[in-house]
A and B are shown apart, each in its own frame.
Chain A
Amino acid sequence: MSKGAMPVPAALVRHARGLSDRAIAWLFIAPTMILLLAINLFPLIWTIRLSFTNYRANRPNAPLRDVGIEHYQTILTDPDVWQRMQATAHFVFWTILLQTVIGFALAYFIDRKFRGHGFWTTIILIPMMLSPAVVGNFWTFLYQPQIGLFNYVISFFTGVPPSSFQMLGDVQLSPWAIIIVDTWMWTPYVMLICLAGLRSIPDYIYEAAEVDRASNWRQFISITLPMCLPFIMLAVLFRGIENFKMFDMVNLLTSGGPGSTTELASITLKRAAFEAWRTGYSSAFAIIMFVAIFGLANIYVKALNRVKAR
């Protein structure tokens, strides 16, 4: 729609005062671009530069040495790093699976337009609007084995004594503790996008299916699901990017523990950068993460476009 400015009418030229359109265009865009270059692009380039050095931010005056691709080699051949990546993949996989299934089901039911669905939808949306850090913090309270609500509710329904399991202290349970919180928080997000997908399906398609006497199940499989797929994939893309770099909620909930069972990639990065002060090493780590996110996102977007084009 916005293919250039319209030809300027003669009457307009006569009245033209003040700045030219060209000047206004640059004046309007420049501040944003300067800010983004200064606070996003410049630091990124700096990170790349640092990743080839032995720089340590807590010893700014130490002699700077170029180490080439040493950090990249160290990181990519470190079994610990692969273990962190596995933890991250586990987290991303299960959160996306749970959020997509529950989110889509909720959207499907909300789309039945029962009485009061607007109000309940708004209620459901609240968790995703909260601060992940604050959410992580108050879930540590809910997860307390002796006093927390979570253990109480579980033991109320199952009879297991509440102090017999520790969601945040058990190697087996702690990954699930963060998956539960993330699912609680972000299912509404997926639900909202799926709802938009469901609402975008025109009624006449269902009417035609009714005329053909297609069963409900058949309609769901051959109309609802395929027409919603691009929306579901978009939700998965956004959640995937976010959860791959997840930091705030996990940092407060478990800060990587117990041991390193919930140490996601960004927690490792934070430890290397701001606790061990291995700035060069952590810069390389950051670049690897960034490339991974960009690469995966790009492959995924290609797939998404193919689905859309169908």
Chain B
Amino acid sequence: MRSGVSTAHSVVEPSGPAKLAAGFIVILYALLALTPLIWIGLTSIKTPPDSISYPPKVLPFVDFQPSLEGFCNLFNTRSRQTQDYINALPPPNGACEEITRSRSMVVVGPSNYTPRFINSLIIAFGSTFLSVLLGAAAAYAFSRFKIPLKDDLLFFILSTRMMPPIAIAIPIYLMYRELGLSDTRIGMILLYTSVNVSLAVWLLKGFIDEIPREYEEAAMIDGYTRLQAIWKVVLPQATTGIVATAIFCLIFAWNEYAFAVLLTSGAAQTAPPFIPIIIGEGGQDWPAVAAGTTLFLIPILVFTVLLRKHLLRGITFGAVRK
């Protein structure tokens, strides 16, 4: 509902009740959308029996006693099967194991979450660093220099992002097998870089286009070389754009699943293919899965808040400016 108020600044303001109704609907949706995430967070601090009780237990300390069993199971590195077996094991290795043993908890097989999480960190940060480095250089060149077939090259760079991952997964699998890159972190870093660099070039070109080229020219007249001018003048001006681009690349590499599940089997496997296969005794160990999910989601939640101003540009490759 727009009531036509023509103030000095001619701003069309919706009426009070209209705002209230809109706010109510949006907040209702937001809470509904948040419920699955809150549920996962709650499940991660339940005991396995509480996590599958019916009706569901909702309030910590009221309906159920919070427990760190899920997290303990997640980080446990030793197999334990029966009480006898546990008794026969060497002394507990760390606090997590002490808790799991005192409660006689049983997990089939050791959890390998830690190395997977570390792989995720290394591959995500490594490919982000490379993507931003290569992307920034290419974006600068595309923004400032006359390059033959510039528009075609830029379109080619963008189009690489349209390919279904599985369409190129087969030859990449064969190629990596030949080169000894399959199931290695380096291989995954290069692969994710090639996927992310298109986004990096397009985003960073937009940001660099907005920096007046007079700045570098002034610096060069003062005696800087082109490279010095880039380092001392352009880079500081582009910091916000570089950070935003980096976070986008990081989120993509962090979340990627298709390549990870097809091309890695252990040594370089990241967390997304691993979390679903955490199995406890008698089926899925839901609190451990929830704990793994929660830990995995926390960085993304932080980045979402940091990124919100740049989100639109990032998800549309800068096709829509905001």
The chain A residues found within 8 Å of chain B, CB to CB, are 1-6, 9, 11-12, 15-19, 21-22, 24-29, 31-33, 35-36, 38-44, 46-47, 50, 57, 60, 102, 105-106, 108-110, 112-117, 120-134, 136-142, 146-147, 149, 152, 162, 184, 187-189, 192-193, 195-196, 199, 203-204, 206-207, 210-211, 216, 219, 231, 234, 238, 241, 245, 247-248, 251-252, 266, 269-270, 273-274, 279, 282-283, 286-287, 289-290, 293-294, 297
Say which residue of A47, A146, A289 sits within 8 Å of B54 (CB atoms). Answer: A146
Q: Number of contacts between A and B (CB, 8 Å)? A: 320
Chain B nearest CB from A107 CB (Å) reads 10
Contact in complex: B19, A112 (CB < 8 Å): yes
The reply to whether A290 and B36 contact each other, CB–CB distance below 8 Å, is no
Decide if B11 touches A50 in the complex (CB within 8 Å). no
A-side contacts of B258, CB under 8 Å: 247-248
Whole-angstrom distance from the CB of A120 to the nearest CB of chain B?
A: 5
Query: Contacts A36-B157, A196-B322 known; A120 to B26 CB distance under 8 Å?
Result: yes
Chain B residue contacts of A273, Cβ below 8 A: 166, 169-170
B64 contacts across to A, CB distance below 8 A: none
Q: Chain A interface: which of B27-35, B75-83, B99-107?
A: B27-35
Contact B319 A50 (CB under 8 A): no
A112 and B311 in contact, given A29-B138, A35-B197, A149-B35 (Cβ under 8 angstroms): no
Instruction: Decide if B226 touches A18 in the complex (CB within 8 Å).
Output: yes
**B167–A287 touching, CB < 8 Å:** yes
A40 touches which one: B27, B163, B262, B272 (CB < 8 A)? B163
B239 contacts partner chain A, Cβ-Cβ < 8 Å: no
For this complex, 7 residue pairs linking A to B, each with C-beta atoms less than 8 Å apart, are: A5-B144, A32-B157, A44-B167, A57-B170, A152-B55, A162-B54, A238-B315
Q: How far is the CA of A105 from the CA of B26 in the complex (A)?
A: 9
- Contact assessment for B166 and A247 in the assembled complex, using a CB-CB cutoff below 8 Å: yes
Return the contact of B217 from the options A6, A110, A146, A188 (Cβ within 8 A).
A6
| Cα–Cα, bound, A133→B254 (Å) | 11
Asked whether B290 is an interface residue with its Cβ less than 8 Å from the other chain, the reply is yes
- Chain B proximity of A39: nearest CB distance (Å): 4
- Chain B residue nearest to A289 (CB atoms) is B164
Contact of B171 among A28, A46, A128, A133 (CB under 8 A): A46
Tell me how far the C-beta of A126 lies from the nearest C-beta in chain B, rounded to whole angstroms: 6
Q: Are A28 and B140 in contact (CB under 8 A)?
A: yes
Give Cα A43 to B176, complex, Å: 11
Q: Contacts A32-B201, A44-B167, A114-B19: A206 and B12 contacting too (C-beta < 8 A)? A: yes
B257 pairs with A248, CB closer than 8 A? yes
A15 to B218, CA, bound (A): 12
Which of B10, B137, B169 is close to A31, meaning CB atoms less than 8 Å apart? B137
Residue pair A149, B312 in contact (C-beta under 8 Å): no
A116–B160 Cα distance when bound, in Å, is 39
| B118 within 8 A of partner (CB) | no
**B contact residues vs A (CB 8 Å cutoff):** 1-2, 4, 6, 10-12, 14, 18-23, 25-27, 29-30, 33-37, 39-40, 43, 51-56, 134-135, 137-138, 140-147, 153, 156-157, 160, 162-175, 190-191, 193-194, 197-198, 201, 209, 213, 217, 220-221, 223, 225-227, 251, 254-258, 261-262, 272-273, 275-276, 284, 286, 289-290, 293, 296-297, 300-301, 303-305, 308, 311-312, 315-316, 319-320, 322
A279–B272 Cα distance when bound, in Å, is 25
- Expressed in whole angstroms, the minimum distance between the Cβ of B300 and any Cβ of chain A is 5
The answer to whether B36 touches A12 (Cβ under 8 A) is: no
Contacts of A283 in B (CB 8 A): 170
Q: Is the contact region of chain A dominated by helix, strand, or loop, or is it mixed? A: helix
Q: Which residues does chain B contribute within 8 Å of A162, judged by CB atoms?
A: 54
Tell me, rounded to whole Å, the shortest Cβ–Cβ distance linking B322 to chain A.
5
User: CB distance B220 to A138 under 8 Å?
Assistant: no
Q: Which residues of B contact A19 (CB under 8 A)?
A: 225-227
Contact residues in A for B193 (Cβ distance below 8 Å): 35
Q: Known contacts being A124-B26, A124-B33, A282-B170, is A193 close to B316, with CB within 8 Å?
A: yes
Known contacts A29-B141, A129-B304; 20 further A-B pairs (Cβ under 8 A)? A29-B153, A31-B134, A35-B193, A46-B171, A106-B26, A109-B23, A110-B26, A114-B23, A114-B26, A131-B300, A133-B261, A140-B276, A141-B284, A146-B52, A149-B36, A184-B36, A210-B12, A216-B1, A245-B164, A252-B257
Q: How far is the CB of A112 from chain B (nearest CB, A)?
A: 4
Residues of B within 8 A of A120 (CB): 23, 26-27, 30
Q: Is the CB of B301 within 8 A of A126?
A: yes
Q: Which residue of B lies closest to A127 (CB)?
A: B33
Of the residues A26, A121, A196, A207, contact of B12 by C-beta under 8 Å: A207
A167-B10 Cα distance, complex, nearest whole Å: 51
Shortest CB–CB separation between residue B184 and chain A, in angstroms?
14
- CB of B197 within 8 A of CB of A138, answer no
> Are B138 and A32 in touch, CB under 8 angstroms?
yes
CA distance A246 to B32 in the complex (A): 24
Q: Which residues of A contact B251 (CB under 8 A)?
A: 129
Decide yes or no: A16 and B303 within 8 Å by CB, A6-B213, A247-B164 being known contacts: no
Taking a contact as CB atoms under 8 Å apart, the answer to whether B257 and A131 are in contact is yes
Q: Do A114 and B20 touch across chains, with their CB atoms under 8 A apart?
A: yes
Query: B193, B194, B201 — which one has the most chain A CB atoms within 10 A of its CB?
Result: B194
Query: Contact between B217 and A12 (Cβ–Cβ < 8 Å)?
Result: yes
Q: Is A138 a contact partner of B296 (Cβ separation < 8 A)?
A: no
User: What residues of A have a CB within 8 angstroms of the CB of B6 in the complex?
Assistant: 207, 210
Q: Are B289 and A141 in contact (CB under 8 A)?
A: yes
Question: Do A138 and B293 form a contact, CB below 8 Å, given A106-B29, A117-B23, A203-B11?
Answer: yes
- Contact at B164–A216, with CB atoms within 8 Å? no
CB distance from A134 to the nearest CB of B (A): 6
The answer to whether A12 and B220 have CB atoms under 8 Å apart is yes
User: What's the minimum C-beta distance from A228 to chain B, rounded to whole angstroms?
Assistant: 12
